[in-house]
Structure 1
Amino acid sequence: MRRTAGELADGREIIYFDDTPDAPPRHAVDTRDLPRTQPLSEVRRDPLTGEWVAMAAHRQTRTYKPPADLCPLCPSTPGKPTEIPESSYDVAVFENRFPSFAQGVPDLPPTVDGMPMVARAPGRGRAEVVCFTSDHNTSFGQLPPSRVRTVVDVWADRTAALSGLPGVEQVFPFENRGEEIGVTLHHPHGQVYGYPFVTPRTERMLAVAADYRRTHDRPVMGDVLAAERAVGTRVVAEGEHWTAFVPAAARWPVEVHLVPHRQVPDLPALTDAERDDFAALYLTVLRRLDALYDRPLPYIAAWHQAPVRTGRDLAWLHLEVFSILRTADKLKYLAGSESGMGVWVNDATPEQTADRLRTP
């Protein structure tokens, strides 16, 4: 894989990751007349829950469902410059033009005016867009295994890079797919966030992992994985180094976890063999997800990694893929119990879902 870094017209970084042997050199210039961006992201700590909430009002003007011929993630063509100046690419990563978090955020007062109990801080971090292919009309699940393997290397590269940035406490690669999820650009792409705090979900998982280790002297994910593989009723697919299963306490109508057999904290820690095996297994899972309702499944694919500076001995890297589609034409709405109290009610048992996904 060849890695080439460049700069867009407004100073944002763009990086090309080429896996095609005869890919041309990347030297195209972004000809757009773009002003330098000044993100004004901030984070505020909820005094009732202790959780950080991000504020990024500048994102209200971001691109929203453009027609295919004006897609900003496709390669540039004469007269139609995009976010990617090249006429083709394999995988491209660039700083989001409308970031939730950014490095150049100005300083802020430490608390909200008149609310000394509400801590406030600049939203310093990073938000990147990862374009998986230059083909607008495909999906991640239709990529060849070699390209998925490249994307795994890209995720690892960006995790390492963002982990080294000032203020970043956790790196989160993810993909949103489908309008039902809220996707506003249909080109196959994902994102990587560098958060300036450890996320609430990760804090909770690390606390549970610490309690379990104190009691059992073993990692909780290791025991979960061993039990799921032994009983088999919720296993969807297996590889040499990874297992995909519907968790026994699944929240979402469709939910699959892809877990490596070896405890590693993050994507950079995976071996070449583990990355190869993941690429093959993930494509199998995505094909089965699309076959579930005989339509492209809207989903979120979320990587759970260790924070940059804490809990690295407790965390166990895994990918969570889930969908809000509970039937071919019905959505699972996060209504009173889920949204108000955080108590989930699932309309299908994990065993039922796994049984349907095991069918090729």
Structure 2
Amino acid sequence: MIEANWADWPHRRFDLLQGRWILVSPHRTRRPWLGQTEKPAPEQRPAYDPNCYLCPGNRRASGQVNPAYTGTYAFTNDFAALLPDAPQTGATTDPLLRAAPVRGECRVLCFSPRHDLTLAEMPVKGIAAVVEMWADQVTDLGTCHRWVQVFENKGAIMGCSNPHPHGQVWAGDFLPREAAAEDEQQDWWYRTHGRPLLLDYARRELDAGERVVTANAHWLAVVPWWAVWPFEVLLMPLRPVGRLPELTPVERVALAEILQKLLVRYDNLFEVSFPYSMGWHGAPTGPDRDRPQPHWQLHAHFYPPLLRSATVRKFMVGYEMLAEPQRDLTPEQAAARLRALPDVHYKRRQSEAGSVTAEPSGNRSNNQPSKGSNS
């Protein structure tokens, strides 16, 4: 349990996973707010958009034509940030002007042929197919690349240029900065305590309960003690797992189920398609895939920017850019708000309420359900 006055006074919390401090300023949530808080107009998208580069059968900007896919679909990014045939020469020796060549691959991962869906609105079976695709990509790209970064940018506010439900995977022959920091911190904890850091942390969070958003027999979703973004979530399995492909069939279904519950809560918070950047971190692959890495625990980060409403976001500027990360809402407050939300999507509740309201009461009989009934 945290100190009671920490919910009212500024303090710093240490991020064990990244090895950094975060400033928490909960008293700032009491300041007057004169900014915008209105709800945006509901977004209406068709199930198929003939102008979408990602819909089945459509031509992409590169001239390639998508197949008429009916499930998930992955293809090489037409504008990749990493290239498999980039020159391997050119490393600098100047200690002040360092540079090194890199090689890699980038792919686009379409979650569904439906243009109008998001992961939050997909059934568990559909989300489970996305989990399988994630695992397959790590298996495939992990054979020759040291780091395989599976991620999703959702929403225009997060820089997503196409609303079709999709994510990406970037695989490179190097260990990126965030991964390297987590590797170092988890390794230090394991050498010091003999147990994986995130498994110890998961047990502590389950015992405390105050930062837990949702959990099942195999997974835990929490607003981490060291969260930076207002409604940030850390998702992790409850047994030692290094990478996505190591998950059992039961764990993959359980992952799809907890993803649905988490993402529905996100959407329900401000009754909007909740934007975020999310991604999976697992043990390094490529030349490291056969080396024992017991300190590594698979986990996913969710970084959503919204703070006060569907239109008011948290900006990482000023102090955050020049000094250290800072948050106003405490992780405990954020978790309580998410935990209290229903796990039935607001669109479904509105649709069901509308169908009942639209049914004239005089058309019902005591023996027959209405057209809007699930009976």
Query: What TM-score bracket applies, with the shorter chain setting the length?
Result: 0.7 to 0.9
Once the two structures are TM-superposed, the CA of residue 307 in structure 1 deviates from its matched residue by 0.8
Question: 2:326 — aligned with what?
Answer: 345
The Cα offsets for residues 236-271 of structure 1, whole Å up to 9 and x where unpaired, read as 111111011111111111111111001111001111
Distance 2:59 2:301 in 1: 40
Correspondences of 1:1-360 after superposition (within 5 Å): 68-76=49-57, 83-111=64-92, 115=94, 117-165=96-144, 168-308=145-285, 309=288, 312-328=293-309, 329-341=311-323, 343-359=324-340, 360=342
Native 8 Å contact 2:88 2:102 kept in 1: no
Number of residue pairs matched?
289
CA, structure 1 residues 107+346, in 2 after alignment: closer, same or farther (shift >3 Å)?
same
Distance 1:318 1:160 in 2: 16
2:326 counterpart SS class: coil
Question: Which amino acid letter does the alignment assign opposite residue 119 of structure 2?
Answer: F
Question: Which amino acid letter does the alignment assign opposite residue 179 of structure 1?
Answer: A
Question: Which amino acid letter does the alignment assign opposite residue 177 of structure 1?
Answer: K
Distance 1:75 1:81 in 2: 15
Native 8 Å contact 1:326 1:347 kept in 2: no
2:279 counterpart SS class: strand
Question: Which amino acid letter does the alignment assign opposite residue 333 of structure 1?
Answer: F
Question: Which amino acid letter does the alignment assign opposite residue 212 of structure 1?
Answer: W
Distance 1:209 1:76 in 2: 45
CA, structure 1 residues 248+69, in 2 after alignment: closer, same or farther (shift >3 Å)?
same
Native 8 Å contact 2:55 2:66 kept in 1: no
Native 8 Å contact 1:252 1:346 kept in 2: yes
1:327 counterpart SS class: coil
TM-score where L is the length of structure 2: 0.73
Distance 2:60 2:200 in 1: 57
Once the two structures are TM-superposed, the CA of residue 83 in structure 1 deviates from its matched residue by 4.6
Distance 2:59 2:273 in 1: 32
1:278 counterpart SS class: helix
CA, structure 1 residues 138+251, in 2 after alignment: closer, same or farther (shift >3 Å)?
same
Native 8 Å contact 1:127 1:193 kept in 2: yes
Q: Higher strand proportion, which one? A: 1
Question: 1:26 — aligned with what?
Answer: none
Once the two structures are TM-superposed, the CA of residue 117 in structure 1 deviates from its matched residue by 4.1
Once the two structures are overlaid, the 10-residue window that deviates more, 81-90 or 322-331, is 81-90
Distance 2:104 2:268 in 1: 37
Distance 1:161 1:94 in 2: 13
CA, structure 1 residues 74+116, in 2 after alignment: closer, same or farther (shift >3 Å)?
same
Once the two structures are TM-superposed, the CA of residue 79 in structure 1 deviates from its matched residue by 12
Native 8 Å contact 2:54 2:66 kept in 1: no
Once the two structures are TM-superposed, the CA of residue 107 in structure 1 deviates from its matched residue by 3.6
CA, structure 1 residues 107+209, in 2 after alignment: closer, same or farther (shift >3 Å)?
closer
Distance 1:144 1:285 in 2: 13
Q: Structure 2: which 5+ residue stretches go unaligned?
A: 1-47, 343-375
Native 8 Å contact 1:237 1:285 kept in 2: yes
**RCO (CA 8 Å, sep 6+): is it higher in 1 or 2?**
2
TM-score where L is the length of structure 1: 0.76
RMSD: 2.2
Q: Structure 1: which 5+ residue stretches go unaligned?
A: 1-66
Distance 1:143 1:291 in 2: 15
CA, structure 1 residues 231+116, in 2 after alignment: closer, same or farther (shift >3 Å)?
closer
Distance 1:300 1:96 in 2: 18
CA, structure 1 residues 111+80, in 2 after alignment: closer, same or farther (shift >3 Å)?
closer
Native 8 Å contact 1:241 1:277 kept in 2: yes
**Structure index of larger Rg:** 2
Distance 2:264 2:322 in 1: 34
Once the two structures are overlaid, the 10-residue window that deviates more, 302-311 or 153-162, is 302-311
Native 8 Å contact 1:75 1:82 kept in 2: no
